[in-house]
Structure 1
Amino acid sequence: MNILFLCTGNSCRSQMAEGWARALKPEAFTAWSAGVETHGLNPLAVRVMAEAGVDISGQRSKLTTDLPEGVTFDYVVTVCGHTNENCPYFPAGTKVVHVGFDDPPTLAKTLTDEAEILTAYRRVRDEIRAFVEGLPGSLETDGS
């Protein structure tokens, strides 16, 4: 099955979800991620994923229009509220599920201590991992 993780800027949460799905569920899913905008790959997301043994450094921030032509998605998972509200149209047969996760850059915005900043990123990383570990069953209920 093809699964797309969709977020506003495709820089952090959707990238983590793609990385986890590729690492934990390669037999069940071909995973992709994209955004309604592109903000570049977040270096702290790359760092905390590497700490967990998942290398996402080769992924890139992309729009849904940058995905390969002809790929149809069985599932589209929106991982932030903005994208859930502004989700692009997907053909009938694609199940769109919203599972909101906190935005690590927003959580870290007022923090100055690197350890606290990384703690915020790690918390979201681990929440996304738990969601992906529950796939495909976690797709059967709307997480909004």
Structure 2
Amino acid sequence: MSGIASPGSKMPRSILFMCGMNAIRSPMAEALAKAALPKGTYVASAGVRQGERDPFVDVVLDEIGLSIGRHQPRTLEELEDDYFDVIVTLAPEAHHKALELTRSMAVDVVYWPTPDPTVATGTRDQIVGAYRAVRDHLAGLIASRIAGRE
């Protein structure tokens, strides 16, 4: 499947991004998608487990003029809505959980393997570089697979 909103299909009205702890990848994807998609598209993020906010996310989003605001990591159980047109999973753990939860639902679950930048070591610049790589990876996927821009 090349895109979520492929030619001839409708743009999803609601998208959930899921990762392990809703601390890095999924909130970053949420912010990027909100900036790239039409205003009427509902975008949310959640994690399989409870996580802690990561300050490097703020650093790399601020570089491109975006913010996650006062976002605090939340689990699936803490979501206000539980129906989405598409669930985009960014980590294996989240993908397995999403497939398990949606077995009896008409929801598309799409897996975008995304590296965990917290495994990066080295200088602050090298670590921030790993977060930038994740941001750019997600921005490219959102542009090409959801927003329909190549």
- Shorter-normalised TM-score: what interval? 0.7 to 0.9
Contact residue 13 and residue 101 of structure 1 kept, 8 A: yes
1:112 positional shift: 2.8
Unaligned runs of 5+ in 2: 1-12
Q: CA RMSD in A?
A: 1.7
Residue 82 in structure 1 maps to residue 93 in structure 2: yes
With the length of structure 1 as denominator, give the TM-score of the two structures: 0.85
1:57 positional shift: 3.1
Residue 119 in structure 1 maps to residue 129 in structure 2: yes
In the TM superposition, structure 1's runs of 4+ consecutive aligned residues that sit over 6 Å from their partners are none
- For residue 113 of structure 2, the aligned residue among 97, 100, 110 is 100
With the length of structure 2 as denominator, give the TM-score of the two structures: 0.82
- Shift in CA distance, 23/137, structure 1 to aligned 2, threshold 3 Å: closer
Cα distance in 1 for partners of 2:129, 2:146 equals 28
SS in 2 for 1:86: helix
Residue 73 in structure 1 maps to residue 84 in structure 2: yes
Could you give the per-residue CA deviations for residues 77-118 of structure 1, whole angstroms, max 9, x where no partner exists? 000112112335035221111111101112x1xx23111111
1:34 positional shift: 0.1
Identity of aligned residues (%): 29
Contact residue 18 and residue 31 of structure 1 kept, 8 A: yes
Cα distance in 1 for partners of 2:24, 2:144 equals 20
Cα distance in 2 for partners of 1:37, 1:129 equals 24
Number of equivalenced pairs = 134
Q: Which residue of structure 2 aligns with residue 31 of structure 1? A: 43
Q: Which residue of structure 2 aligns with residue 142 of structure 1? A: none
- Which amino acid counterpart does residue 47 of structure 1 have in structure 2? V
Cα distance in 2 for partners of 1:73, 1:57 equals 22
